[in-house]
Amino acid sequence: MKKGHQITMKEIAKKLGVSVSTISRALKDSPELHPETKRKIVEMAKEMNYQPNLLAQSLRISRSKTLGVIVPEITSHFFASCISGIQDTANTRGYNVMICQSNESLELEKANIRTLVSSQVDGLLISLSRETNQFDHLYDLYNREINFVLFDRVNEEIPVSKVTFNDVGGAYQVVKHLLEGENRRIVYVSGPEDLYISKKRKEGYLKALKEFGIDIDPTLIFKSDLTTEGNIEVAKAIAEMQPRPDAVFCMIDPVAVDVLTQWKSVGIKIPQDMALAGFTNNPTAAVVEPPLTTVAQPGYEMGKLAVSHLLDQLDGIASDDPISIVLETTLVPRKSSQHFDLKK
């Protein structure tokens, strides 16, 4: 053991093979635990020279009644909806909310955490930046026993609660819908490969193809950097394929809207020439011509659930043991995919 190293509840938990929350409850002398269990834990804590984290304790006792939220970008309708859900629920429970934007930058995400922690927030709700590929700043929060919940863009290793969507299921639903519309050569336009949703939605795409007995054709998988320029390039490349694919499923709506705009400008008819679908159900998806088939992700609901769980943990209603909440998505079929039955 390093000199000056401060023992955490996590280490005691590991030593005894029980959960951090059990340790926490034992040290708080919770009546929920068997006296014998409590005795063992308290003895081990003494033996390991456990010092309760006074900072974390004082944070828990003298509540600021403020929560911190970190999202990759506020301009995204989806994250704005999550924030609304978080704020409405937090306000109802007497908490105020401060929001920081990481602008998809790991450095800014770290700076945001420092800013919010030094503002003495009671807990944090974090959706990770696109760049976040190392997680020391999150383990640091964890070791300091500052409560936080990850949502939408999560890391699977960190032992805290997470709220995510069933991305595989959503992508499967929409690709199945395209397959049922007699489309066979279906393109998937992915985002950057290290993005959690790029992987998960591709999984759903492949699952649906497999179910319909269709072989994977790697030339049908495109990748965009998610900028408008990148999306337009992909739209052009797809239009030039010989023969043209039957349908295109884009990882997120903004990509599909850019594809739609580019195709319309060169006279490609949707859905007659190619069917098109997105994912997210942004407000724009409903008003483009033709309206875009997509998958609805209830962002407001996600925000509500994430903050409710965090507040339940802070109030001792929920245990500190990490849980995973997975929300289902809903297929929203619109005109852009319905060439098989335009009279519907």
Write out the residues near its own copies by the rule CB under 8 A.
64, 66, 74-75, 77, 80-81, 83-84, 87-88, 91, 96-101, 103, 108, 111-112, 115-116, 118-120, 257, 261, 283-284, 287-289
Contact by Cβ (8 Å): 298, 280 = no
Nearer to its own copies, 108 or 220 (CB): 108
For the bound state, the minimum distance from the C-beta of residue 98 to its own copies, rounded and expressed in Å, comes to 4
Nearer to its own copies, 245 or 299 (CB): 299
For the bound state, the minimum distance from the C-beta of residue 220 to its own copies, rounded and expressed in Å, comes to 26
Nearer to its own copies, 86 or 174 (CB): 86
For the bound state, the minimum distance from the C-beta of residue 235 to its own copies, rounded and expressed in Å, comes to 14
Exposed (0-12), middle (13-18) or buried (19+): which is 4, by Cβ within 10 Å?
exposed
Cα–Cα dist 271/222, whole Å: 20
Nearer to its own copies, 18 or 98 (CB): 98
For the bound state, the minimum distance from the C-beta of residue 116 to its own copies, rounded and expressed in Å, comes to 7
Nearer to its own copies, 33 or 80 (CB): 80
For the bound state, the minimum distance from the C-beta of residue 111 to its own copies, rounded and expressed in Å, comes to 5
- Closest by Cα among 120, 108, 104, 112 to 69: 112
Pairing of strands 123-126, 162-165: unpaired
For the bound state, the minimum distance from the C-beta of residue 244 to its own copies, rounded and expressed in Å, comes to 23
Contact by Cβ (8 Å): 282, 122 = no
Nearer to its own copies, 37 or 66 (CB): 66
- Closest by Cα among 212, 279, 281, 225 to 248: 279
Structure tokens at 58: 């004082």
Dump strand ranges (E) for 104-245.
Answer: 123-126, 148-151, 162-165, 186-190, 221-223
